[in-house]
Amino acid sequence: MFDMYDIHRVVNPAELPASLQSLDDCPSILYCVGDVELLNTTCVSVAGARRVSSSSIKWLNGLLEQCSTSKPTIVSGLALGTDTAAHKTALELGLPTIAVLPSGVNNIAPRSNEKLANQIVDNGGLLISEYMLHQAPNRDSYINRNRLIASLGKALVVPQCEIKSGTMHTVRFAKQYGKYIVTQDADYSGNQHIIRSGDYKVLIK
């Protein structure tokens, strides 16, 4: 993985983007690998199912391709499924991408995405975490990771999710932060809840 000298520590909250500074639980420290300036770019966040359908990935890829002309930074959580697809599509489209980790930046979770993490950094992207080096993920750190994903993006893209899923934590954070949620009208309980509950600012694509 990364040489210790490649890991930057952003310890002054004033150096964080306004989206993170505005959080009641703003990170007191942020460990970064890669281009820290991406934190100050226009971002679009992506969250969704780990076991994601091919049709949902196709929908996501099409949406990101439509957005690519404005060169947004794609933010996701490096998890399997939707997150992996979002990062890979960003790389294929030549878009910068930020991976927000639930673990130390030198302890990639899941381990199977270490290669992808390296590709993100090698292609001018960024890995970030508020957790100490070597720290393993836990349930709370995944939820905390999701709040950063929701906060960084101008909007949250949700291709597919069930109502009882970790993705709904990200959706609720996006609602709390006043973000638009972009989703498809597909037969998944989370998608239908987002569209029909009236609780969210929704764009259906």
User: In this structure, what CATH number is given to the domain that contains residue 192?
Assistant: 3.40.50.450
pLDDT number for residue 9 = 76
pLDDT, tens only, 55-108? 999 999 999 999 999 999 999 999 999 999 999 999 999 999 999 999 999 999
- What gap in Å lies between CA 68 and CA 29, rounded to an integer? 31
pLDDT, tens only, 6-62? 777 776 777 888 899 989 999 988 999 999 999 999 999 999 999 999 999 999 999
Are the C-beta atoms of residues 75 and 67 closer than 8 Å to each other?
Answer: no
184-190: long-range pairs with CB below 8 Å, 24+:
184/56, 184/59, 184/159, 184/160, 186/55, 186/56, 186/59, 186/160, 188/49, 188/160, 188/161, 188/162, 189/162, 189/163, 189/164, 190/158, 190/160, 190/161, 190/162, 190/163, 190/165
Position 184 pLDDT exceeds 70: yes
Structural domain span for residue 22? 4-204
pLDDT, tens only, 136-168? 999 999 999 999 999 999 999 999 999 999 999
Domain count, the chain: 1
pLDDT, tens only, 106-138? 999 999 999 999 999 999 999 999 999 999 999
To 10 degrees, the CA torsion angle through 78, 83, 85, 91? Answer: -50
